[in-house]
Chain A
Amino acid sequence: MIGNDIVDLNVAFVQSNWRRKRFLSKVFTEYEQQLIKSSANPDKTVWLLWSMKESAYKINVQQYQDVFFSPRKLQCKILSKTKGLVMIKDEMYLTESQINNDFICTIASLKKDVKKLNEAFELDDDSYAIQHKQSSVKLMVAVSKKWDLPLKDVRIKKNKIGIPKLFLNTKELPISFSITHHGSYGAYSIVC
């Protein structure tokens, strides 16, 4: 299983004011708040931790099929500039992030060295519907190429709790993947 999350840093800057009262304490543990406070670039640290939490949560929800919103219960530990850990109850997730001035993209996995196909890309338009469509198409093209499947038969459908699944026509494909988009950026990650 795999989980990913992308944050468009420019959009996050205008869309989310994490400096507002009580925001940090609702989302971050004491340890994480310390990391933000002592960071040379608190904006980047906030969104790095956020994308770590989101990507790990996306695996957890696939494992337990239970949707919840409790960001403080997803506890991060930063190991290096790009690597980290997230604990959710008794589960531990490993994260690896790509960080630049435009976006932060994190991929979470359950164990080391999961072989995967990843791509982060810029989207043409920042309207939600178009972002969503473009990101899905990118993923479907990658799957069709990788497993030599006719693109016109590859589909993505969400299950009843909102987890996306890949299908070849009506048959579900046993492919573990994660897809994300925010602002002008999207990304997918596929286990292969």
Chain B
Amino acid sequence: MTKEELIRSLKKIVKPYVQDEAAFESLSEETNFIDDLKINSANLVDIMLDVEDEFDIEIDNDAMEKMLSVQASIDIIAAKLNEK
């Protein structure tokens, strides 16, 4: 899966939880889920679970700990997909 494809899938996953639509429109690798998209932290858990379902991977606690931005998320997803 290319980076662009990963970002596209991730964008679809985070969309329902976004509270700042303008920041979502201009989403980039640097975008932070909480500071930029204003995602409620309880919904971050939903994002982790949605990512696990979508990519059929397991996000362990250590991985989850730093999964706060688009960049960190695609790095972790790519690494987990590679392990498969």
Q: Which residues of A contact B (CB under 8 A)?
A: 12, 15-18, 20-23, 26-27, 50, 54, 67-73, 128-129, 158, 162, 182
Contact = CB atoms under 8 A, between A and B. Distances in A.
A12 B35 contact: no
B70 interface: no
27 contacts: A12-B42, A15-B42, A17-B46, A20-B46, A20-B49, A22-B49, A23-B45, A23-B46, A26-B45, A26-B48, A26-B61, A26-B64, A68-B65, A68-B66, A69-B64, A69-B66, A69-B68, A70-B61, A70-B64, A70-B65, A72-B61, A73-B61, A128-B19, A128-B20, A162-B32, A162-B35, A182-B40
B70 to A, nearest CB: 14
Given A15-B42, A68-B66, 20 more contacts: A12-B42, A15-B40, A16-B42, A22-B52, A23-B46, A26-B49, A26-B64, A50-B42, A54-B41, A67-B68, A68-B65, A69-B41, A69-B65, A69-B67, A70-B61, A70-B64, A72-B61, A73-B65, A128-B19, A128-B38
A99 to B, nearest CB: 17
A54 B34 CA distance: 13
A18 B45 CA distance: 9
B46 to A, nearest CB: 7
Contacts of A18: 42
Given A15-B42, A15-B43, A23-B45, A162 B34 contact: yes
Interface residues of B, number: 22
Nearest to B46: A16
Contacts, number: 54
Interface of B: 19-20, 32, 34-35, 38, 40-46, 48-49, 52, 61, 64-68
Most chain A CB inside 10 Å of its own CB: which residue of B43, B44, B45, B64: B45
Most chain A CB inside 10 Å of its own CB: which residue of B34, B42, B49, B68: B42
B34 to A, nearest CB: 7
B72 to A, nearest CB: 10
Nearest to A24: B45
